[in-house]
Amino acid sequence: MREFTIALIGNPNVGKSAIFNELTGANAHVGNWPGVTVEKKEGKFVYNDTKINVVDLPGIYSLTASSIDERIARDYIVREKPDLVVCIVDSTNLVRNLYLFVLLKELGAKTLLVLNMIDLVENKIEFDESKLSESLKTRIVKTSATKKIGIDELKKAIYEEFHKDQGEFFVNYGKDIESSIKRIESLLNSTELSYNKRFLAIKLLEQDSVISEELKRLKKENIVESALLEVNKLEGIYSDLETEIIEKRYALIEGVIKSSTKNLVSIEDRLTFSDKVDKIVTNRYLGLPIFAIVMLIVFKATFTLGGFFTGYINQFFDWFGDFLSIYIQNPILQSFIKDGLIGGVGTVVAFLPNILILFLFLSFLEDVGYMARAAFVMDKLMHSIGLPGRAFIPLILGFGCNVPAIMATRTIADERDRILTILINPFMSCTARLPIYVLLTGIFFNNNHPELIIFSLYILGIFVAIFSAKLFRSTIPKLKGKVSFLIMELPVYRMPTFKAVSVHTWERTKEFLKKAGTIILLGVLLVWLLSSLPFGVDYGSEESLVGMLGKFFAPILVPAGFGFWQAAVALIFGLLAKETVVGTMGTLFGGEENLSNSLTQLMTPLSAYTFMVMSLLYIPCLATIGVIYRETNSLKWTAFSILYSLLIGWLTATLIYQMFSLIWK
């Protein structure tokens, strides 16, 4: 069986992942690119007895290699030389999307162009495919991945393009620039770099630092110096050489589109549904209130709908624990099953409906296109207080899980901005904290708008992140400097398919269940063991090992309002995973019913709230600490993150408790 390799590439939000899933089905796996934490998706499919390997490259806008994603994509195409590069573009925004395609052709890649989301321009734009194909020197396939349109045609086109030659593609940059390109190309003939020589010459004129460093490594400093002389010469002709080169590419793109497409509706009629909605949701005055209302609705639904199912799950685990106790006579085994497994893990799993519903809403908002608008709306506010514009995308991801959110900072080119975003990301309230919120709001605020309490915690996390960013930017020398702006393309609104939302929701929920069956299970079993030792003490008493551990740290927590030793133990074991805070309490107090009764005796509504504040802000979980170290490659920044978050968590909880204690007296 013959074997070929293709690479999928495209801008973010063009449906690349959906096409990857349609091509590969279940024959896909996820790993990391060598040497970095960037996700690598690979799959395969068979067509006409030919095995076709599919590599999904990161979503990027250009091949400048200014970010890790761009570097990975460019290096893969140059060094691995896939047999075909399938460039996926959004049919509703060809001018912006075709810029990456032009760079691929200049790089010398053999291409296939996919016009995705074709259903959104039906009866609005008419394509002359043969003219478009001839102008861009590539085959064209029209698809709609969400509606499964054109997938079979795409597979056929991929197979056929392996056996065809494509004509030469050329962007004319004008007499002066072209003369400089030729002179640099003549010098590059002696180099060992596997890049297309014309592409290299253009990149040297654009002063691409990665290319320059590679040439210096090969002892070809003379080429870099000669290119710099050409740049200086051209800058005497053009006010901004890099802008001139970019505008020539866009001029070609606009010319190609004008000659090969026909608008079937007037400019007024082309004002899309997305444009009309964006006039409201991205309005400078309405945008922030709308975002707040949307998130409040999400939390209300999460608490109300999830709470309905959580109650029944708790009842089941209480009954199941009592049922097993009848048949298990050994007191140690009985305690292990009832207090350890059911009391600990069962208490956490009971909040699965809340997690599932929150993920369902977030997946829908992401797929429909609203979360990108939320980033746009928040950008001006973030920028004014020292946060980099591009940071808000990873921060939004932090509402799901801080680990992939911190990994997402790799798209931030400026090292200072990237480090700053990594340091503040753990303050975004991930879903691992949600079981803590739901448990305590259900006990102490059930009749007093619990969704507002949960919403306030998310807002508090955002404000602490903002405060910390401002503080770090103004006081830490390595983080001082200009703040970068957010430049992003807003995807069109589109109703996501039930399958797509379900898959995204299940993938995230599966991670929660995986943690419940591994890290959380190990954590609560360790708590149970320490609660049972030394032999002869009452289970979970102050004389047990876990009791002694809690009593040692409990005095530190007294100013924050929850100075009982079980709270200290729960927070300590919460370092394994934040859900373990609930599992630990369930283990120590013997299940959800006993837990509720015990906490009402040990806490007030105010101390319950400050405990949630501490759970939100104090040391991130071990997985997050690990990814902070991997992404910064620095023990110093990792230690700083741990110590600062512990301090800010304790100070904030203590400040809130002490202030409101005075007011309520």
CATH number of the CATH domain containing 24: 3.40.50.300
Which of 571, 573, 569 minimizes the C-alpha distance to 523? 573
Q: Is residue 232 part of a domain?
A: yes
Per-residue confidence (pLDDT) for residue 543, from 0 to 100? 84
Using the 3D structure, point to which of 229, 263, 297 is the last residue of a domain: 263
* Under-70 pLDDT residues of the chain: 26-39, 264-274, 329-332, 334-335, 338-341, 343-348, 385, 388-390, 411, 413, 482-492, 512, 515-517, 540, 590-593, 664-665
Say what the alpha-carbon torsion angle 555, 559, 560, 563 is, to the nearest 10 degrees: 30
Does the annotation list 289 as a binding residue? no
Element at 9 (helix H, strand E): strand 2-10
Does the annotation list 16 as a binding residue? yes
Average pLDDT, the chain: 84
Asked if residue 122 and residue 208 are part of one domain, the reply reads no
Does the annotation list 42 as a binding residue? no
Structurally, how many domains does the chain consist of?
Answer: 3
State how far the alpha carbon of 247 is from the alpha carbons of 13, 103, 434, in Å: 24, 13, 49
Q: Is residue 369 part of a domain?
A: yes
Does the annotation list 350 as a binding residue? no
Does the annotation list 38 as a binding residue? yes
Q: What is the CATH number of the domain that holds 225?
A: 1.10.287.1770
Does the annotation list 208 as a binding residue? no
Rounded Cα distance, 339 and 281, in Å: 49
Does the annotation list 37 as a binding residue? yes
Per-residue confidence (pLDDT) for residue 394, from 0 to 100? 80
Which of 105, 106, 110, 52 minimizes the C-alpha distance to 84? 110
Using the 3D structure, point to which of 161, 184, 214 is the last residue of a domain: 161
Does the annotation list 27 as a binding residue? no
CA 655 to chain centre: 32
State how far the alpha carbon of 650 is from the alpha carbons of 342, 427, 472, 558, 618, in Å: 31, 13, 19, 10, 7
Does the annotation list 594 as a binding residue? no
Q: Is residue 373 part of a domain?
A: yes
Contact by Cβ (8 Å): 472, 423: yes
Asked if residue 216 and residue 144 are part of one domain, the reply reads no
Rounded Cα distance, 657 and 665, in Å: 12
The tens digit of pLDDT for each residue in 23-35 reads: 988 666 655 555 5
Asked if residue 437 and residue 481 are part of one domain, the reply reads yes
User: What pTM, to 2 d.p., does this model score?
Assistant: 0.65
> Among the residues of 328-448, which ranges form H helices?
331-335, 347-349, 352-368, 370-384, 392-397, 402-407, 415-424, 434-444
Q: Is residue 270 part of a domain?
A: no
Does the annotation list 171 as a binding residue? no
Using the 3D structure, point to which of 263, 297, 328 is the last residue of a domain: 263
Which of 378, 373, 413 minimizes the C-alpha distance to 392? 378
State how far the alpha carbon of 199 is from the alpha carbons of 203, 436, 555, in Å: 6, 54, 65
- What angle separates helix 450-475 from helix 287-327, to the nearest 10 degrees? 120
Per-residue confidence (pLDDT) for residue 26, from 0 to 100? 61
Does the annotation list 55 as a binding residue? no
Does the annotation list 345 as a binding residue? no
Per-residue confidence (pLDDT) for residue 270, from 0 to 100? 46
Asked if residue 231 and residue 108 are part of one domain, the reply reads no
Does the annotation list 277 as a binding residue? no
Asked if residue 180 and residue 150 are part of one domain, the reply reads no
The tens digit of pLDDT for each residue in 267-311 reads: 445 446 667 787 888 787 888 888 888 888 887 888 788 777 877
Asked if residue 612 and residue 565 are part of one domain, the reply reads yes
Rounded Cα distance, 79 and 308, in Å: 55
Which residue range(s) make up the domain with 32?
2-161
Asked if residue 257 and residue 295 are part of one domain, the reply reads no
Contacts of 486 (CB under 8 A, 6+ apart): 375, 376, 379, 382, 383, 388, 389, 390, 392
Asked if residue 144 and residue 256 are part of one domain, the reply reads no
HSE value, Cβ hemisphere, 13 Å, CA-based, for 547: 14
Does the annotation list 180 as a binding residue? no
Rounded Cα distance, 554 and 618, in Å: 15
Q: Is residue 198 part of a domain?
A: yes
Q: Is residue 376 part of a domain?
A: yes
Asked if residue 150 and residue 187 are part of one domain, the reply reads no
Does the annotation list 5 as a binding residue? no
Does the annotation list 496 as a binding residue? no
Asked if residue 529 and residue 633 are part of one domain, the reply reads yes
Q: Is residue 577 part of a domain?
A: yes
Does the annotation list 452 as a binding residue? no
- Burial class, 482, CB count within 10 angstroms (exposed 0-12 / middle 13-18 / buried 19+): exposed
Asked if residue 202 and residue 72 are part of one domain, the reply reads no
Does the annotation list 146 as a binding residue? yes
SS3 call for 195: coil
**What is the Cα gyration radius of the chain?**
29
Contacts of 501 (CB under 8 A, 6+ apart): 360, 363, 364, 367
The tens digit of pLDDT for each residue in 366-406 reads: 778 787 777 777 777 777 767 766 677 788 778 878 887 88
Element at 482 (helix H, strand E): none
> Among the residues of 425-544, which ranges form H helices?
434-444, 450-475, 498-517, 519-532
Does the annotation list 56 as a binding residue? yes
Does the annotation list 25 as a binding residue? yes
The tens digit of pLDDT for each residue in 475-516 reads: 999 888 766 655 556 666 777 777 777 877 777 777 767 766
The tens digit of pLDDT for each residue in 120-132 reads: 888 888 888 899 9
- Burial class, 627, CB count within 10 angstroms (exposed 0-12 / middle 13-18 / buried 19+): buried
Does the annotation list 39 as a binding residue? yes
Asked if residue 595 and residue 549 are part of one domain, the reply reads yes
Rounded Cα distance, 123 and 264, in Å: 7
